[in-house]
A and B are shown apart, each in its own frame.
Chain A
């Protein structure tokens, strides 16, 4: 899709491990996650996180991948020639010119979540701008069950944005506004975003205050995501990633319905895809060497 929209407040950043000398490492690998909104490049030295960058995806994906990689290695003296193996992932994964291989988001996300949340994470829910993924994985971050819904806008950032637009509520305020109701209203009955909009218009005309309508929508969206999760089965521990993980109105309601608290990430959860890709690159480099 041509229009990249921001669904949450997010800033570009980069980081280098202060205590690691990459020149002393044996195998350097990288993962580049080209998403519709942001691109992350992650560098791993002998399977340990060394550096990363996270920046806006430009209109030219190959260039974005290159820029992210350059920024991640900036000031370290490392060049692309020092990197043994690169894996591209994400929506624009075919547009990483220097990648040795591409791997889908599902596998990389699970592998990265295992690193970010620790080996006890078993269920990962990723709610992005244009899709919703539910993944179950083992203690090594290997996928044991997954599904991805990218057909329908309900349950995605895009659906939430359409709804926020209708109510003229800034997208980043939706979550807190939805939690400001004294009593939880019945959820909007339509799953379809188009029909939910019609329903919401009716509720506003019937005199519902905005926060109540927003709460009814968040509640419906949370329920919908829970039914998706139930298809793969939820096992603790549980983590939520992606743009909508910043929406407390959705997160709190999902936790309530599941009776499970979502884990707090040790690192920016946005890195999951790129980090997983870099770790797969490490495994693939080892395999190629043997």
Chain B
């Protein structure tokens, strides 16, 4: 499943996509994120799944443009720690 967390507003689209078929809930993205954006828990969109899965913490879902801002400076490309930490390439950012 492709779980998209985030939002679209007048200024743009900001989504973190988690491929739950690839994610095994290892939690490396949780450790890697300096701002507590990622959490691991039960799969909200698949209640019959037993394996935990990575999601975006509820308190960040409506402001990830800002929560993820420090990892996305306007100048200089920086690799995102959450993406680097994921061994399964299960994470993607839309912006």
Contact = CB atoms under 8 A, between A and B. Distances in A.
B7 A149 contact: yes
Contacts of B63: 151
B1 interface: yes
B9 A143 contact: no
Given A151-B61, A232-B2, A143 B10 contact: no
Interface core residue of A150, A192, A227, A231 (most chain B CB under 10 Å): A231
B9 A107 contact: no
A231 B45 contact: no
Given A143-B1, A146-B3, A146-B4, A195 B45 contact: no
A143 B46 contact: yes
Given A231-B15, A232-B2, A146 B7 contact: no
Interface in B1-47: 1-10, 13, 15, 44-47
Interface of A is mostly: mixed
Contact of B8 (A103, A145, A195, A228): A228
Interface in A138-192: 142-152, 154, 190-192
Contacts of B10: 152, 154, 190-192, 195
24 contacts: A103-B47, A104-B45, A107-B45, A107-B46, A145-B1, A146-B1, A146-B3, A147-B4, A147-B6, A147-B15, A150-B7, A151-B9, A151-B61, A152-B10, A154-B9, A191-B10, A192-B9, A192-B10, A224-B8, A231-B4, A232-B2, A232-B4, A280-B48, A284-B48
B62 interface: yes
A94 interface: no
Contacts of A191: 9-10
B1 A152 contact: no
Interface residues of B, number: 21
Contact of A104 (B2, B15, B44): B44
A152 B7 contact: yes
Contacts of A149: 7-8
The 10 closest A-B pairs by CB, nearest first: A151-B7, A147-B4, A192-B10, A152-B9, A151-B62, A191-B10, A145-B2, A104-B44, A143-B45, A103-B47
A4 interface: no
A92 B63 CA distance: 22
Given A143-B1, A151-B62, A227 B8 contact: yes
Contacts, number: 71
Q: How large is the interface on A (under 10, 10 to 19, 20 to 34, 35 or more residues)?
A: 20 to 34
Given A107-B44, A143-B45, 20 more contacts: A104-B44, A106-B44, A106-B45, A107-B47, A144-B2, A145-B1, A145-B3, A150-B62, A151-B7, A151-B9, A151-B61, A152-B7, A192-B10, A227-B8, A231-B4, A231-B15, A231-B94, A284-B47, A284-B48, A287-B48
Given A143-B1, A145-B1, A152 B46 contact: no
Contacts of A27: none
A147 B1 CA distance: 11
Nearest to A287: B48
Nearest to A149: B7
Nearest to A101: B47
B8 to A, nearest CB: 6
A195 B5 CA distance: 25
A79 B89 CA distance: 49
Contacts of B46: 107, 142-143
